[in-house]
């Protein structure tokens, strides 16, 4: 779910009970370093855009 661009951390927490910090730690441990950095950049960009759309 975390790799999907349209899923918010709140949705993951509601469904799986993992906080945003826990999801980031899990992704850091699971993904390659470059993939993790790309994912974090994407998440930041999409979360910034989401604020403007609401």
Query: pLDDT tens-digit profile of 11-51?
Result: 999 999 999 999 999 999 999 999 999 999 988 887 766 55
The SS3 of residue 2 is coil
**pLDDT score, position 44:** 86
Q: Read off the pTM.
A: 0.79
- Cα three-residue angle 8-24-4, rounded to 5 degrees: 40
Q: What's residue 53's pLDDT?
A: 54
Q: What is the pLDDT of residue 24?
A: 94
- Residues contacting residue 24 through CB under 8 Å, at least 6 positions apart: 40
């Amino acid at each position: 779910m975390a790799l999907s661009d349209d899923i918010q951390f709140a949705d993951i927490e509601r469904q799986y009970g993992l906080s945003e910090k826990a999801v980031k730690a899990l992704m850091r441990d699971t993904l390659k370093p470059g993939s993790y950095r790309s994912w974090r950049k994407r998440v930041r960009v999409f979360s910034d855009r989401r604020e403007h759309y609401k």
